[in-house]
Copies of this chain bind each other. A is one copy, B any other.
Amino acid sequence: MTVDPPTAAPDTGSLSHARSLVLVHTGDGKGKSTAAMGVALRALARGWRVLVVQFVKSGDWRAGEQEMLQRLGADWLAVGDGFSWDSGDLEASAGLAREAWNSAEAALAGGTHDVVVLDEVTYPMTWGWIDTDTVVAAIVGRDDRVSVVATGRDAPSGLVDVAHTVTEMRNVKHAFDAGILAKRGIDY
């Protein structure tokens, strides 16, 4: 009979309490960003200060979470219009991604928030718009009270290496494969 997670603390002989954690949600399945929003929700419930930096323009995609989490006190920084994988102007998009990264970097170093969500940050890393080594160094060198949740497919190995917890969301079966469109309110 297995239960996850255990409600009782296990033997703590060789265990330590981290001051903060780095979580990565990767893989091709659903739930990477959604679970990050759930972590943000939980942190807000604890009275923590939360910053979400959204690296890929979502249109309405994240608007609901944004509204709800902001109502609960989260700060939210989304890349501007024009930052999109289908933008005609990649240079402008790259610039906006770097701008978002600069804000994230400042939050990581400054300890202004207890949790910083780097939502879909792996894409601009993959596309070479922001430098992976720089991101990894900023995470390692962060104010040690700041926990980080980074999401997106194809998490670079450098990021995986410095994370405490890495979860791969694996697509076992998807409604879309069966010819069903994403449903508003559930999928976005």
Interface residues of A (CB under 8 A from B): 1-5, 7-9, 12, 14-18, 20-21, 23, 25-31, 33-39, 41-46, 48, 56-59, 61, 63-65, 67-69, 71-72, 84-86, 114-115, 123, 126-127, 147, 153, 160, 163-175, 178-188
Contact = CB atoms under 8 A, between A and B. Distances in A.
A178 B22 CA distance: 13
Nearest to A66: B45
A1 B181 contact: no
A48 B173 CA distance: 25
A57 B8 CA distance: 12
A21 B64 contact: no
Contact of A21 (B2, B18, B45, B187): B187
| Number of chain copies forming the complex | 2
Given A16-B180, A153-B2, A180-B164, A8 B86 contact: yes
Contacts of A9: 181-182
A4 B187 CA distance: 12
Contacts of A160: 172-173
A165 B184 CA distance: 15
A186 B85 CA distance: 31
B167 A23 contact: no
A32 to B, nearest CB: 8
Contacts of A123: 3
B41 A37 contact: yes
A178 B26 CA distance: 20
